[in-house]
């Protein structure tokens, strides 16, 4: 009964969070004025932004390949590209980052990667993202000379990311110790559950194997930075098209805040959370209300809609067994 209630509870929380953020955003802005600005956006800018979205997905797939190689699994980049696109598309539709489950299932189908190994690589992705976004927010806050919440957010996120890096590196380099800790934590559980938890912990630690050091970790760090630099370029491209007179550091700040808002797990596609929090950051660096509203709505659409369509188109290659099963049925 409790398990059956969990999806309902998550749905209620996600709906409440989305409604709250949307209400906060809509009470601050004038959508009519913003639409007038959006209609004047040059088509060439939109085309360039769409190209950068594809590059971002490709670099993210490349990073995942390095993380999987660190765990001992070699997966073709084409399969990873499809899986990443499908997972990101599903995250834009399903709250609580349900798309990650599709990525795990995709790797199980196309490359026989155990579920908890994939989960370990996805956890490594989140940690690397946290590291880069923390640096981006700090760079942006210091570059534009703003303190307050943006700077405190960057400091807090940096501290959390640094602690996470230390713990994950220790677990990756001492897998036996991590498994012993999991075994002790589950010692009072029934034997079947105890064995399952220890096995899951072992596979999870295997999934963060890239953090043992070496080429895979270096490449994972480099591709993480490259992925988010592509995003910063898209933020800057659209900002220049709107005539925003901003320093490059301001785009680092806006991109960092915006993608943190997209990562809020209770809302699908960052609906409400992205708009309100990125709008606050834009106003903090003295972008006018009308331009800030148009800019935030445009960036949200570009970050969500193209990759959602791409994921829908690549659903079959990402989940081949599912479609073969339906065809057989």
Q: Write the pLDDT tens digit of every residue in 80-90.
A: 999 999 999 99
Share of the chain above pLDDT 70, in %: 92
Question: For residue 32, what is the DSSP state?
Answer: H
Structure confidence at residue 244 (pLDDT) = 93
pLDDT at 156 over 50: yes
pLDDT tier at 145, thresholds 50, 70, 90: confident
Q: Are 202 and 175 in contact (CB under 8 A)?
A: yes
- How many Å apart are CA 37 and CA 132, to the nearest integer? 31
* Token pair in block for residue 228: 């988010």
pLDDT at 287 exceeding the cut of 70: yes
Query: Who's near 172: CB < 8 A, 6+ residues apart?
Result: 205, 208, 209, 210, 211, 212
For residue 142, count CB atoms less than 10 angstroms from its CB and return exposed for 0-12, middle for 13-18, buried for 19 or more: middle
Band of residue 154 on the pLDDT scale cut at 50, 70, 90: confident
For residues 108-136, give the mean pLDDT: 94
131 — pLDDT class (breaks 50, 70, 90): very high
Q: Is residue 230 within 8 Å of 59, Cβ to Cβ?
A: yes
Task: For 279, list phi and psi in degrees, rounded to 5.
Answer: -60, -45
d(CA 95, CA 267): 5
The answer to whether residue 285 scores a pLDDT higher than 50 is: yes
- CA pair distance 318, 316, nearest whole angstrom: 5
Confidence band, pLDDT 50/70/90 cuts, at residue 240: very high
- Average pLDDT rounded to a whole number, residues 30-55: 95
Whether the CB-CB separation of 199 and 169 falls below 8 Å is answered with no
Give 33 or 60, the one with higher predicted confidence.
60
Average pLDDT in the chain: 88
Question: Is 90 exceeded by the pLDDT of residue 132?
Answer: yes
pLDDT on residue 18: 80
Looking at residue 265, its pLDDT comes to 65
Average pLDDT over residues 13-41: 88
Rounded mean pLDDT of 249-261? Answer: 92
Is the pLDDT at 191 greater than 80? The verdict is: no
**Percent of the chain, pLDDT > 90?**
65
Q: What integer is the mean pLDDT of 269-277?
A: 87
pLDDT at residue 129, rounded to an integer: 94
CA distance 291 to 268: 25
C-alpha to C-alpha distance for 194 and 204, rounded to whole angstroms: 15
Closest CA to 202 of 31, 72, 36, 24: 72
Q: What is the pTM of this model?
A: 0.90
List CB contacts of 47: < 8 A, sequence separation 6 or more: none
pLDDT band at 232 (very low <50, low <70, confident <90, very high): very high
């Amino acid at each position: 009964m409790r398990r059956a209630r969990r999806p309902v509870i998550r749905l209620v929380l996600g709906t409440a969070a989305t409604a709250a953020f949307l209400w906060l955003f809509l009470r601050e802005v004038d959508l009519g004025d913003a639409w007038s600005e959006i209609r004047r956006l040059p088509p060439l800018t939109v085309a360039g932004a769409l190209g950068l979205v594809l590059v971002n997905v490709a670099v993210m797939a490349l990073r995942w390949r390095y993380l999987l190689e660190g765990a001992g699994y070699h997966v073709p980049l084409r399969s990873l590209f499809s899986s990443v696109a499908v997972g990101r598309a599903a995250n834009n539709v399903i709250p609580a980052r349900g798309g990650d489950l599709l990525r795990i299932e995709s790797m199980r189908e196309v490359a026989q990667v155990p579920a908890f190994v994939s989960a370990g690589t996805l956890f490594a992705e989140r940690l690397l993202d946290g590291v880069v976004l923390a640096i981006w927010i700090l760079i942006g806050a210091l570059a534009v000379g703003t303190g307050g919440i943006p700077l405190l957010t960057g400091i807090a996120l940096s501290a959390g990311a640094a602690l996470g890096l230390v713990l994950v590196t220790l677990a990756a380099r001492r897998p036996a110790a991590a498994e012993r800790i999991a075994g002790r934590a589950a010692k009072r559980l029934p034997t079947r559950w105890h064995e399952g938890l220890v096995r899951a912990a072992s596979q999870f630690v295997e999934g963060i194997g890239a953090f043992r050091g070496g080429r895979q970790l270096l490449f994972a760090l480099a591709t993480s930075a490259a992925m988010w630099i592509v995003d910063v370029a898209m933020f800057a491209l659209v900002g220049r098209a709107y005539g925003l007179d901003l320093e490059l550091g301001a785009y680092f700040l806006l991109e960092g805040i915006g993608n943190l808002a997209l990562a809020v797990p209770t809302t699908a596609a960052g609906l409400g959370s992205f708009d309100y929090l990125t709008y606050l950051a834009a106003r903090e660096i003295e972008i006018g209300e009308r331009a800030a509203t148009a800019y935030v709505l445009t960036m949200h659409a570009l970050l969500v809609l193209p990759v959602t369509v791409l994921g829908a188109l690549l659903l079959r290659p990402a989940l081949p067994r599912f479609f073969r099963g339906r065809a057989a049925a």
